[in-house]
Structure 1
Amino acid sequence: MTTLETDTAPRAASGEGERTSEMPVRWSIPLALLACVLLAFFDKISIAALFSDDGFQQAMGIGFDTTKLGLLMTAFLLSYGFSSMLLSGLGDRIAPVRLLTWMMVSWCGLMALMGFTHSYNAMLVLRILLGIAEGPLFSLAFAIIRHSFPSHLQARATMMWLLGTPLGAAIGFPLSIWLLNHFGWQSTFFTMAILTLPVLFLVRFGLRHVRMEAGQNKASAPTPEARSAARRELFASPYFWMVCIFNIAFMTYLWGINGWLPGYLIKGKGIHLEHAGWMSSLPFIAMLVGEVIGAWLSDRVDRRAAACFISMGGAAIGLWLVLHLNTPLAVIAAMSFSTFMWGTGAPNIFALLAKATRPAVSATAGGVFNGLGNFAGALSPAVMGALIAFTHSMDSGLIFLVVIAVLGCALLLPLLKRY
């Protein structure tokens, strides 16, 4: 196996991961996780491309009922959040690679069943089950990276698999729409099911060197009593909850931008519809670039809390500038600066979580962290929509995000010197 770098630091006394100074750093691990996250994002968003399709609406027997259509996404997000919090702890008891394999097999089966479904209620149940099956993914990825990479490389390794989210948005929507236009709505589900098979092979191959089973190293593996004590310590730690609440602000920004950016450009700034399409993609490209640069810089400096503070603060400043600009290019430039700054913090927030928690409960910590963030993120577009309706101003939605970002920065102040 080709390696790019070897960790020469001795194992920390706290037992960080299962790594030793002789174990090479294998970049196939985050690359395999990237493929997995990319596939999961395809599964997550493919349904949105069908909302305006007459064939899908007739098959479900609901017509253009926006409430029922939206519920297909909301039901997924809510079950995803619950699963992330309640089931991610399985990754601390079951070998994460084995658990991830069974999760992907279930994704494949559920997507295939959706392609055969001609009932709205059945589709809703399948979406809920898909959310449950995908919920532990991010916490498992976090645990695998934490146990496989030294701390000074964790942000870069995390960045590699986190890129699956913006890449998923950039590739998933066009792919789903192309399949829909050429082969019908059922093809979108069948294609996602078929894609699971090569990705599963890639994941099994890329993660074949990961060893996290409790029995692999009995001398250092935590006992059930030690793991239970670590879990109690986790839930009693104010620093853990500070990081989790900051992630709520972090995810509120992300889903708020995802939900309202095109609408804000069109309705709030008067940018013509034919221009809004390509213009609305530029901030997400900037976000991707920010993730890459932020991960590299922060791994060199290793000040995770400061990196997240600067990231969220820069995102707030960018949105504040958007509120005061009117020309299309200036608005897009300010919005892109905002999303770029947010992107610089995305890999670092997982590295910050690793610093604030113990390795024995990595999956549990990641599950609570990810679940709370996604609950809040799912509510963000609805809250912004309510504010816009109440004030009759598109700017009120962005002001909401600015306030949340500033509050998130304030919450990190006690952590700046510690982490």
Structure 2
Amino acid sequence: MPFALYVLGLAIFAQGTSEFMLSGLLPDIATDLNVSLSAAGALTSAFAVGMVLGAPLVAALSLRWPPRRALLAFLVVFLLVHVLGALTSSYEVLLATRIVAALANAGFLAVALAAAAGMVPPDAKGRATSVLIGGITLACVAGVPAGALLGQLWGWRSAFWAIALVSAPAVVAILRSVPDRASDTTTPSTRAELRALGNPRLVVTLLLGALVNGATFCASTYLALLVTTVAGLDSLWVPALLALFGVGSFVGVAVSGRVADSRPVPLLVVGGVALGLGWVVFALTAGSPVAMVVLVCVQGALAFGVGSTLISQALYAAPGAPTLAGGFATAAFNVGAALGPWLGGITISAGLGHRSPLWVSAALVVLALVLGAAAHLVRRRTTRSLASTA
């Protein structure tokens, strides 16, 4: 894999850390800025909304820029708003920086996915995607806990400074290692990319990605409740199990990247079935600490292995629209990240118990499997019909 891919992975590591680290910093932010905890929580929601709405729009705006210029612009903006966030004493300004950071993150990820696909042979998109998604999983393993630790030691602003510092070397490295153009030197057209997005295979892939990611975030969001109230473990186990989930995620992305290009359908079918069954087993055995430790790691690997494969399949489904396909894939996965926890919260509020998010996760994966099977049958029938009339 080209060195430039790992540079992009470093930048995505910083961006993933920024997206998820606020969960451990919200009380300090609320106290420091003299706002309510719910108002501080809106900082997280603002980032999520910016990712969902901004990914396709910002990706479309960047189509006329060379990849290196677009990546540098997004990353420099991302770095600067974190500096501003670390300096400001205004809640309104901090909220605005989170929205702008999300837009920059969404645009960077969309362009990075397209650029990565252009840096490798046409049949290696899965491996290239796994390097980038690996940055997100490393953020879960190391970046988020490190951000929380910095917040405890030197205040929440130090975590924002750390994001800016980690992003800085990526700016220099992108200048030196990312080509102005991918191997395909044609300048993308917004109209041409929009036409390519009409592929039904891409639409189905995006829906599957949203469902699978919804299942992942539904379960992981309520993991702390499962650890303390269902398994009966001390709260000190929560960060350890979250880190273990991140380790499993990293392993899943790394392994799936080696298979996603050559055997994507078997990987998605077998991995999807195993993922759905895993959530069922997790729901049934969540009271066992041993089972929880094992399944947290296994489900992290399966969830991110299947999820990263779906991202690469989105790029394969729209070879004529790599940037917008990356943008819509980013949006779809963030829709899932918002939908899953919301559904899990509904079941808990309805009195169905703290295991109920795991059942929701299982249902979402089953729905993805049914949708994928139905799309496959429709495609086969269409192919046969066309062959018979030829």
Q: TM (normalized to structure 2)?
A: 0.89
- List per-residue Cα deviations over 1:170-226 (Å, max 9, x = no partner): 22223223322333232222232233221211222231x35249xx84xxx2674xx
Match of 1:148 among 119, 136, 140: 119
Report the counterpart of residue 255 of structure 2 in structure 1: 293
Secondary structure, aligned partner of 1:52: helix
Match of 2:16 among 41, 60, 63: 41
Match of 1:328 among 289, 294, 315: 289
Match of 2:46 among 75, 78, 81: 75
Report the counterpart of residue 61 of structure 2 in structure 1: 90
Does structure 1 conserve the Cα–Cα contact (< 8 Å) formed by 2:125 and 2:316?
no
Report the counterpart of residue 266 of structure 1 in structure 2: 228
The whole-number CA distance in structure 2 between the counterparts of 1:161 and 1:369 is 13
Report the counterpart of residue 50 of structure 1 in structure 2: 25
- The AA in structure 1 aligned to 2:353 is S
Shift of 1:348: 1.6
Percent identity, please. 19
Shift of 1:130: 1.3
Question: Which structure 1 segments of 5+ residues have no match?
Answer: 1-25
Shift of 1:106: 0.8
The yes-or-no answer on 1:211 pairing with 2:181 is yes
Shift of 1:166: 1.5
Q: TM (normalized to structure 1)?
A: 0.83
Secondary structure, aligned partner of 1:358: coil
Match of 1:61 among 23, 30, 34: 34
| Mean CA deviation greater in 329-338 or 33-42 | 329-338
The yes-or-no answer on 1:351 pairing with 2:312 is yes
Report the counterpart of residue 364 of structure 1 in structure 2: 324
Does structure 1 conserve the Cα–Cα contact (< 8 Å) formed by 2:5 and 2:132?
yes
Secondary structure, aligned partner of 1:83: helix
Report the counterpart of residue 12 of structure 1 in structure 2: none
Shift of 1:156: 1.6
The yes-or-no answer on 1:164 pairing with 2:118 is no
The whole-number CA distance in structure 2 between the counterparts of 1:70 and 1:367 is 25
Shift of 1:280: 3.8
- The AA in structure 1 aligned to 2:342 is A
Question: Which structure 2 segments of 5+ residues have no match?
Answer: 381-390
The yes-or-no answer on 1:375 pairing with 2:348 is no
The whole-number CA distance in structure 1 between the counterparts of 2:128 and 2:136 is 15
Report the counterpart of residue 397 of structure 1 in structure 2: 357
1:278 to 1:49, Cα distance in 2 relative to 1, 3 A: closer
Match of 2:278 among 318, 325, 328: 318
Does structure 2 conserve the Cα–Cα contact (< 8 Å) formed by 1:148 and 1:210?
no
- List per-residue Cα deviations over 1:141-194 (Å, max 9, x = no partner): 210121111233221221112111121122222322332233323222223223
- List per-residue Cα deviations over 1:320-369 (Å, max 9, x = no partner): 1112223211232233322222232233212211221133x111122122
Shift of 1:404: 0.5
1:71 to 1:250, Cα distance in 2 relative to 1, 3 A: same
Does structure 1 conserve the Cα–Cα contact (< 8 Å) formed by 2:209 and 2:336?
no
- List per-residue Cα deviations over 1:81-106 (Å, max 9, x = no partner): 11102111234321121011011111
The whole-number CA distance in structure 1 between the counterparts of 2:192 and 2:47 is 33
Report the counterpart of residue 345 of structure 2 in structure 1: 385
Secondary structure, aligned partner of 1:379: helix
- List per-residue Cα deviations over 1:56-104 (Å, max 9, x = no partner): 3333111xx2321211100111012111021112343211210110111
Aligned length: 377
* Structure 2 counterparts to residues 99-110 of structure 1, below 5 A: 99-110=70-81
- List per-residue Cα deviations over 1:255-281 (Å, max 9, x = no partner): 223311122222223233233442343
The whole-number CA distance in structure 1 between the counterparts of 2:251 and 2:350 is 35
Report the counterpart of residue 388 of structure 2 in structure 1: none
Match of 2:160 among 189, 205, 209: 189
The whole-number CA distance in structure 2 between the counterparts of 1:261 and 1:254 is 11
- The AA in structure 2 aligned to 1:168 is A
Does structure 1 conserve the Cα–Cα contact (< 8 Å) formed by 2:66 and 2:180?
no
1:249 to 1:95, Cα distance in 2 relative to 1, 3 A: same
The whole-number CA distance in structure 2 between the counterparts of 1:336 and 1:42 is 20
